Amino acid sequence: MSVDDAIRFLPELILILAATLIMVCDPLTSTHRKSTLAVLAFVALLAALAATAYSSTDPGKAFFGMIVVDGFATFFRAIVIVVGLLTVLSSNRFLEREGANSGEFYALLLFSISGQSMMAASNELIILFIGLEISSIASYVMAGFLRDDSRANESALKYFLLGSFASAFLLYGIALVYGVTGATNLSDIGSRMQPDSLLGGVAAALMFVGFGFKISGAPFQMWAPDVYQGAPTPVTAFLSAGPKAAAFAVFVRVFTVAFGNIGDRWEPLIWISALLSMTIGNFAALGQTNVKRMLAYSSIAHAGYVLVAITARSESGVAAVMFYLGAYALMNVGAFTVVGHISRKGERYLRVEDLSGLGVRQPLTAAMFSIFLLSFIGVPLTAGFFGKFYIFKAALQSDLIWLTVLGLLNSAVAAYYYLRVLVVMYMQEPGEAVNEVEPLSPALRLSLICSAAGTLILGIFPSGALHFAVKSAVLK
């Protein structure tokens, strides 16, 4: 292990060490001073972000090609770490409110992010799988962190069972890949995979099942609404952004680098999955009354849009995936943070109607939420618009005309349920839930302002991020 290796692995190292440190410090801090641990986690994440930036100055492979630091890895590492930062900001107040503020939460959060960061940089199936499992196991526990809440328990159990199921499929796929090519390194697999390999196709399909679960793409989306609804809201925000982005990152990397040769085999699969995800997500969301559940279905639909970009099988498709997931992470964490803020102790207020009159009582919160919702719809000058635009542009470039038409129509349908939230917030009288809502705590305010500002900046000046994405979309 050389110094270069260590530097390329530095973000993960920092996160793992900090997580361990938090667990050591946890018994030493008194119950009402657990927020210091949150500060510690926050600082560690900032350091990891800095390490990510630093390691990106000297790109290359490390640990015998196990991990690779390139633009793609850096982009996704940054996404998951930023999601972690926003989650720490929004969860501290939440956990205090629910009486569950403890070091373990932050330790698990950091472990989970270290796993995702590993996935983002992995160039090899074994490290990919281990990263995925670290991320997943930590998330299962986080989903059930409020153990007195029966819905949270149900959510955690469901997430655990179906997640393990998905991991098994993934592992089966990995085993077949090794059987076919005798390699676990993605670049080696890519060069050894025969274009007409039958078993290779089966392996790709099995791995797609595994990834499909993790990204909650149809037809493997069944767990998402229940899990997202039951989990504590800051955890939901985290689950729908961080692990999803990391899963997409490995999905894209594996399927372009390792399975690039057999692209026409898996393209139809993903085409169908993209269409199903968009349609099921949007149409199911139309009928939801619970905000979290609605956002869960919307996240299925958004996974569908990203799958459209993957179906394009081109560099501009990869760039679109990157940009979209960056935008999506910001707006989704922001939206769930607002929901967590409104829901109050015990998460009692989660219906769409409970938001009524928010625009009168808390104009700032409502304005932020509106920005996120408009970005979900894809209104220009928000990040969501450019995200969708790049995706459909990439799809058209690859002649996926029908998928594009259906996707665009889907995004028009989706506007309906997002608008309903806007309607309730601004056009109805304040209700019980909103009348007594407490003011935004400074941490929450910071978290929301950062997400909203990011959403707008990516929407008005997308050039920088887009340029970086295009530059990094060349996967080898």
Partner 1 sequence: MDQHLLSIILFTPLAGLAVLLFIPGSSKNVIRIWANVVAFAGFLVSLPLATRFDKGASGFQFVERAEWIPSLGVQYLIGVDGISMLLIMLTTVFGFIAALSSWNAVEERVKEYYAMFMLLQTGMIGVFLALDFFLFYVFWELVLVPMYFIIGVWGGPRKLYAAIKFFLYTLAGSVLMLLGILALYFQYHAQFGAYTFEIANLMKVVLEPGMERWVFWAFFVGFAIKVPMFPFHTWLPDAHVEAPTAGSVILAAVLLKMGTYGFLRFSLPLLPRASNDVEIVRILAILSIVGIIYGALVCLMQKDWKKLIAYSSVSHLGFCTLGIFALNPNGIAGSVLQQINHGISTGMLFLVIGVMYERRHTREISEYGGIAHVMPKYAIVFAIAMLSSAGLPLLNGFVGEFTILQGAFEANRVWAAFAVSGVILGAAYLLWLYQRVMLGQVTNGKNLRLPDLSAREMAVFLPLIAWALWIGVYPKPYFDILEKPVQQLVERVKPGYYQGQAALKAGVR
Partner 2 sequence: METFSFYAFAVLVLGGAILTITRRSAVHSAISLIVSLVGVAGLYLLQQAEFLFAVQIVLYIGGIMVLFLFVIMLVNLDEAAKERQFNGQWLIALICATVVGLQVAWFMTKGAGALKLAQVPVAAAQTGAPVSPGNVEAIADVLFSEYLLPFEVASVLLLVAVVGSVVMAKKRI
CA angle 460, 465, 470 (to 5 degrees): 125
CA angle 254, 257, 261 (to 5 degrees): 110
Ramachandran quadrant class, 137 (left: phi over 0; alpha: psi -120 to 50; beta: rest): alpha
Strand partners, 225: none
User: Taking Cα atoms as reference points, which of 420, 421, 390, 419 lies closest to residue 407?
Assistant: 390
Alpha-carbon dihedral of residues 30, 34, 40, 46, nearest 10 degrees? Answer: 180
Q: Which stretch binds partner 1 (CB under 8 A): 158-166, 246-254, 326-334, 389-397?
A: 389-397
Q: Tell me the one-letter amino acid at 124.
A: E
Q: Confirm if 444 and 96 have CB atoms less than 8 A apart.
A: no
CB neighbours of residue 36 within 10 Å: 13
Q: What part of residues 432-461 is at the interface with partner 1 (CB under 8 A)? A: none
Contacting residue, 21, 47, 59, 133, with partner 2 by CB under 8 A: 133
Contacting residue, 56, 114, 240, 455, with partner 2 by CB under 8 A: 114
Q: Confirm if 346 and 415 have CB atoms less than 8 A apart.
A: no
Contacting residue, 25, 47, 60, 104, with partner 2 by CB under 8 A: 104
Q: Which stretch binds partner 2 (CB under 8 A): 141-149, 284-292, 340-348, 444-452?
A: 141-149
User: Taking Cα atoms as reference points, which of 340, 356, 337 lies closest to residue 348?
Assistant: 340
270 binds partner 2, rule: CB under 8 A: no
Contacting residue, 33, 43, 58, 179, with partner 2 by CB under 8 A: 179
Which residue reads 């939206």 in tokens?
A: 335
For the chain, first and last CA: distance in Å? 23
474 binds partner 1, rule: CB under 8 A: no
88 binds partner 2, rule: CB under 8 A: no
463 binds partner 1, rule: CB under 8 A: yes
380 binds partner 1, rule: CB under 8 A: yes
91 binds partner 2, rule: CB under 8 A: no
259 binds partner 2, rule: CB under 8 A: no
- By beta-carbon proximity to partner 2, the closer residue of 126 and 381 is 126
192 binds partner 1, rule: CB under 8 A: no
Q: What part of residues 152-171 is at the interface with partner 2 (CB under 8 A)? A: 156
- By beta-carbon proximity to partner 1, the closer residue of 335 and 374 is 374
CA distance 407 to 282: 11
Which residue reads 């299962």 in tokens?
A: 140
Angle at which helices 315-343 and 463-472 pack, to 10 degrees?
Answer: 130
Q: What are the strands, taking DSSP E only, across 22-180?
A: 60-62, 67-69
Q: Which stretch binds partner 1 (CB under 8 A): 125-133, 247-255, 410-418, 435-443?
A: 410-418
Binding site partner of 439, from partner 2, partner 1, none, Cβ cut-off 5-8 A by kind: none
Contacting residue, 402, 427, 436, 474, with partner 1 by CB under 8 A: 427
Task: Break the chain down into helix, strand, coil percent, rounded to 5.
Answer: 80, 0, 20
107 binds partner 2, rule: CB under 8 A: yes
In whole angstroms, the minimum distance from the beta carbon of 183 to partner 2 comes to 8
Sign of the C-alpha dihedral computed for residues 336, 341, 343 and 344 taken in this order: positive
Q: Write out the two tokens for 381.
A: 């000058």
In whole angstroms, the minimum distance from the beta carbon of 100 to partner 2 comes to 6
Q: Confirm if 334 and 345 have CB atoms less than 8 A apart.
A: no
Binding site partner of 434, from partner 1, partner 2, none, Cβ cut-off 5-8 A by kind: none
Contacting residue, 118, 351, 392, 458, with partner 1 by CB under 8 A: 392
Q: Total number of residues binding partner 2 (CB under 8 A)?
A: 46
Binding site partner of 197, from partner 1, partner 2, none, Cβ cut-off 5-8 A by kind: partner 2
Q: Which stretch binds partner 1 (CB under 8 A): 80-88, 208-216, 334-342, 407-415?
A: 407-415
Binding site partner of 137, from partner 2, partner 1, none, Cβ cut-off 5-8 A by kind: partner 2
23 binds partner 2, rule: CB under 8 A: yes
* Omega of the bond leading into 439 within 30 degrees of 0 (cis): no
419 binds partner 1, rule: CB under 8 A: yes
Q: Where are the alpha helices (DSSP H) in 26-70?
A: 35-55
Q: Tell me the one-letter amino acid at 420.
A: R
**Following DSSP, what letter does each residue of 190-245 receive, concatenated?**
HHH--TT-HHHHHHHHHHHHHHHHHHT-TTS-THHHHHHHHS-HHHHHHHHHHHHH
**Side-chain-side CA neighbours of residue 368 (13 Å):** 26
CA distance 317 to 323: 10
Q: What part of residues 106-165 is at the interface with partner 1 (CB under 8 A)? A: none
Q: Total number of residues binding partner 1 (CB under 8 A)?
A: 33
408 binds partner 1, rule: CB under 8 A: yes
- By beta-carbon proximity to partner 2, the closer residue of 179 and 287 is 179
Q: By the criterion CB under 8 A, which residues form the site for partner 1?
A: 359-360, 363, 374, 377, 379-381, 385, 389, 392-393, 396-397, 404-405, 408-409, 411-412, 415-416, 419-420, 422-423, 426-427, 462-463, 466-467, 470
Q: By the criterion CB under 8 A, which residues form the site for partner 2?
A: 1, 9, 16, 20, 23, 63-64, 66-67, 100, 102, 104, 107-108, 111, 114-115, 118, 124, 126-127, 130-131, 133-134, 137-138, 140-141, 144-145, 147, 156, 179-183, 192-194, 196-200
